[in-house]
Amino acid sequence: MDLSEEKLYLTPFPFSPLFPMLIMSLATQKQAPITKSSFRSEYDYIIVGGGAAGSVLANRLSEIPCVNILLLEAGKTAPRITDIPSAAASFIQSDIDWRYRTTPQRHTGSALVNRRVTLPTGKVLGGGSAINALVMNRGNRRNYDEWASLGATGWSFNEVFHYFLKLEDNQDPQFASNGWHGIHGPVTVNRQDYQPEAKVAITESALSLGYKFVDVNGPTQHGFYDFLTILRNGQRCSTAKAYLAPSENRTNLDIVARAMVTKILLENKRAIGVEVDFGGLRHRVTANREVILSAGAINTPQLLMLSGIGPMNELDRLQIPLVADLPVGKNLQEHPAGFTAFELSESIMPVHKRLFEDENISLYIRERRGPLTYSSGISLLAFLSNNSTGEFNDVTDHELYFMELPAIYAKLRVGLSPEAYQRVFGPYEKKPILVCMSQILHPKSRGTVRLRTANPYDFPDIDPNYLDDPQDLKDIVEGLKTCIKILTAPPMAKVGAKIFTTAFPGCERFIDDIELFLRCNVRAAIMSLSHPVGTAKMGQPSDPTTVVDPELRVKSISSLRVIDASVMPTIIWGNTNIPTIMIAEKASDMIKGSITCGHQHR
């Protein structure tokens, strides 16, 4: 155990004398697999990316003893401190984050540094599941039926529901027994049981206004969600923990970290292997059966284009020889969120101070309870509609996050300019703060991932094109108006909730017109919730907008699949981690169906 490494991250815990004991207590769970320091030159399957999808594939494919698998992850093994739910936001811009920022945005970002939005993406075994907010939801059943209607045959809700059950081990009696959850899967799910004062008040406020509390993974999605978290006995259950750690001793699986794949090797329109940088050397590794890209909606299109698979004009621009002219990097979709902030009563201890207290650290060590289980400071979620018609039809327009946050989080996570930060959050730095974020669920805007250079170590240009469609701004604002309605209802007086009186530069003049004021705020600053999808769209091969077929095989290239969030034709109405795991579970069965042991294969 390397305590010096654990202290490198921006969490409050290293300042406590209990820090060594806290880290040691986390070691009672096997967090990640032992990785290999070398690998062979030939495998049956090579999986690029050990994140939410790649971890699943490595586990499931290695269940077949007659095939051998190499899993390559560019990042390292996560530090143990990532297991603490309240620490989730502490790893943004660290060495386990790709540190992506979008290109300067045209329709938002005036209060951000260079108009660029921070886009946290896990560069670590477990990927985003090792640093995310641990929220367990699947989206809306309509999402998967829409995929099927767009040509993703076999991906309707009724056809994928089995895989949601397969991946889940729900340990909350109320949810586990309702028929909509799995109880024996690898991903452990529990309800967050910390009950801060703000959560109690928000709950009372929502109920007083007639909102219902529902299981959003059940028959209907519309309502408030006392949400399930991806936790195992109070610790994060990343896919590295759920899938890779149990399979580390299989002789047919080699898991290699700090291995940067720079190119897919193609021969006669067939994927034959990869180039990978590892240990200071560049290696060529052959795949006898398939290369599988599970590098995520940013890295996967980048790697495809670097290998000659992508839009002809894009590759010509960088003099990359064209192998297949496909719309790689297009159809980028993401969930932008606007936010509104409230100060709370001085009698409520700010959330970051709760995490400093040795009493609370000790409680977590002993019982895995208390503020340290407070996942990213999120008290409650709500999936709501702009109008009663949406509610009646279970069409949700926005996901609201009610969060207690320190002011400095706005600078680190949102990327506010120093002036904008001081204007809005400066007066509240030492006060308890409650933020409500409105994340739109079905954005109309579409963006792109494009190569900036032909160097695999240069980040691509990521342009989500936020708010290009005016409806997106309208939907965010409608959600923020609901935030204000809930947080100004009488029960919130118990915690002294008062909306900020400050404004982003240029928005002061609208302070008496809530509609214009909120629109101005959203045009000044939005957040990414790190849900990029769609850049290698799945659908029928005859559809010119698709990159992979319903079996997730790259069109016109044999022995190459994409299995990650980039294949989603449209973004789901919720958090993308669990749906990505589902995609990998279903794809694993597709691949396993083609394997026959006892026969020579190539």
Which residues are designated catalytic? 531
* 463-493 burial: b if 16+ Cβ within 10 Å, else e: bbbbbbeeebbbbbbbbbbbbeebbebebbe
SS (H, E, C) 101-136: ECCCCCCCCCCEHHHCCEECCECECCHHHHCCCCEC
Q: Is 151 left (phi over 0), alpha (psi -120 to 50) or beta?
A: left
Closest residue by Cα to residue 499 from 438, 437, 433: 433
Question: Cα–Cα distance between 123 and 79 in angstroms, integer?
Answer: 12
Q: Any idea which residue has 């695999």 for tokens?
A: 456
Question: Cα–Cα distance between 463 and 306 in angstroms, integer?
Answer: 18
CA atoms within 13 A on the CB side of 189: 28
Q: Any idea which residue has 């629109």 for tokens?
A: 519
Q: CA 148 → CA 143, 155, 394, 459, 564, distances in Å?
A: 9, 5, 19, 33, 17
Question: Cα–Cα distance between 64 and 597 in angstroms, integer?
Answer: 8
- Would you state the structure tokens that stand for residue 486, as one six-digit string? 């809930």
What does R_g of the chain's alpha carbons equal in angstroms?
A: 23
Beta strands in 28-127 (DSSP E): 42-48, 69-72, 100-101, 118-119
Closest residue by Cα to residue 404 from 375, 435, 439: 435
- Contact assessment for residue 488 and residue 462, using Cβ atoms and an 8 Å cutoff: no
Return the SS3 of 188: strand
DSSP string, 330-360: -SBB--EEEEEEEE--TTSPPHHHHHH-HHH
Tell me which DSSP letter residue 594 carries: T
Q: Is 414 left (phi over 0), alpha (psi -120 to 50) or beta?
A: alpha
Q: Is 600 left (phi over 0), alpha (psi -120 to 50) or beta?
A: beta
